[in-house]
Amino acid sequence: MTEIRKVLIANRGEIALRVIRACREVGLKTVAVYSTVDEMALHTRFADEAVCIGPGAATKSYLNIPNLIAAAEISGADAVHPGYGFLSERAEFADAVQKCGMVFIGPDPEHMRLMGDKVRARQTMEAAGVPVLPGTGVLESGEQAQAAAKEIGLPVILKASAGGGGRGMKIVWDLDKIPAILETAQSEAQAAFGCGDMYLERYIQSPRHIEVQIVADMHGNVIDLYERECSVQRRHQKVIEEAPASNFDDGVRTQMRQAAIAAARAINYHSLGTIEFLLDGDKFYFMEMNTRVQVEHCVTEMVTGVDLVQEQLRLATGEPLGHLQQDFRPRGHSIECRINAEDPVNFAPCPGTISALHLPGGTGVRVDTHVYQGYKVSPYYDSMLGKLIVHAPTRPQAIARMRRALGECVFEGISTNIALHRWILKQAPFVQGKYDTHFLERDLDPDAIRAEIDLHA
């Protein structure tokens, strides 16, 4: 097995703190990196060392591979953890880390390339027997797209082969409009991802988004840690996650878990990974694989008791999965709310200084955050301030606990989306566990959310 002594965390914010904590518990030294904007950030204070990697713009700091590699070499780090976002799924970064003789805490670069190419990923999963939606390879022309859409049946969705996170998607309801929409989508994909390749799939109008957490070692062992429900979304961006999924047939759950394991085995995957599916009634279809730790990993940790970041560290050294129990059963229910610095009605980002702060506590409450009173929320980066996670014996108890915890959250000086979360947790579709990915866009009530703001002012 490979020995690791010091880990550089190539990220910022709450995930950088999360990795630092996991490393410290297993006796590893840590190196934080920071932009000039983040000089006073908590991850720079709690790491053993901190290295400045450039100015505020992410392209000149957290996305600057030469600067990150230099920071690792200067500090004597022998491993790099990418967190999520930024360079976490960039194969060229993993290549650079490995070529410099350091351990990349994640999968092989080729796994990233394969799963990052959505067309190749679809083809690989189909060959492995994992259900995929009717669709195409890379589209060569508008006429080809029209013919495929006619065969599949409308509506269809155009997706960027190099895309992810909901970017580069176009839903099409009219065959005649496909050539123009495809041309626009290709231009947008080229600008966003450096690749204009597009493909097409049948569009499911009211799906649920359910993902399975898998853990795989370098010795061919793969297990899953059950599923997470991620259907509360806005513009394909997750807002609330929970584990396990409610109103989910046990037979379909078992089939989905088996498909996730088959997906990982099909590419000889190792490290943490998440297989994401769309659920349409009792049918499910592969959507994509994330080759990193997920933002929402916390709800899985709460119901299984497994520290997933520490698992990443162990797997990167070549340690087998023998220490993990093979027959996990979810214990209770966990819900996570993403707390963002944004207007809860129009979702506009809200940078500024947090003038007063109070975070909730008590039994079954966890807060993963990097902010503090006096913290300046920068316009340079994602608006997420942290994650509020609760755990309780049952889903109704977890909802009640989350409502209570949200009521204790105080952020002054900036706007947050806490009122949106309070509103969601009162809605019948969410309370009954009968919601899909269009729940927010269909039911959002701006006046009711403003009332939530006034109620807790």
**Residue 150: C-alpha distances to residues 120, 131, 141 (Å):** 23, 21, 14
Q: Which of 228, 292, 314, 366 is the catalytic position? A: 292
The letter for the amino acid at 177 is K
Of the residues 158, 175, 202, which one is the last residue of a structural domain? 202
Structural domain range at position 165: 134-202
Among residues 146, 241, 149, the alpha carbon closest in space to that of 203 is found at 149
- At 455 the pLDDT is 79
Residue 323: pLDDT band by 50, 70, 90 thresholds?
low
Whether residues 227 and 197 fall in one domain: no
Q: Based on the domain organization, do 188 and 231 belong to the same domain? A: no
Total-model pTM = 0.95
User: And the tokens for 296?
Assistant: 């929402």
In this structure, how many other beta carbons lie within 10 angstroms of the beta carbon of residue 447?
7
- Are both 428 and 352 inside the same structural domain? yes
pLDDT in tens, 390-443: 999 999 999 999 999 999 999 999 999 999 999 999 999 999 999 999 999 999
The rounded distance, in Å, linking the Cα atoms of 210 and 227 is 7
For residue 295, give the CATH number of its domain: 3.30.470.20
The reply to whether 323 and 373 lie within a common domain is: yes
27-37 burial, b if ≥16 CB within 10 A, otherwise e? ebbbbbbbbeb
21 belongs to the catalytic site: no
pLDDT digits (tens, 9 = 90+) for 238-264: 999 999 999 999 999 999 999 999 999
> Per residue in 255-296, pLDDT tens?
999 999 999 999 999 999 999 999 999 999 999 999 999 999
Q: Which amino acid is at 46?
A: F
Residue that is written with structure tokens 């009173």 in the block: 373
Q: SS3 of 232, please?
A: strand
Six-digit token pair at 227? 């599923």
Query: In this structure, is residue 114 part of a structural domain?
Result: no
Please name the residues in contact with 434: beta carbons below 8 A apart, sequence gap of 6 or more.
247
CATH number at residue 175: 3.30.1490.20
The C-alpha angle 255, 231, 165, rounded to 5 degrees, equals 95
pLDDT tens-digit series, residues 143-179: 999 999 999 999 999 999 988 766 778 999 999 999 9
H helix or E strand, kind and range, residue 197: none
The verdict on 166 and 249 lying in the same domain is no
- Specify whether 172 is located in the same domain as 228: no
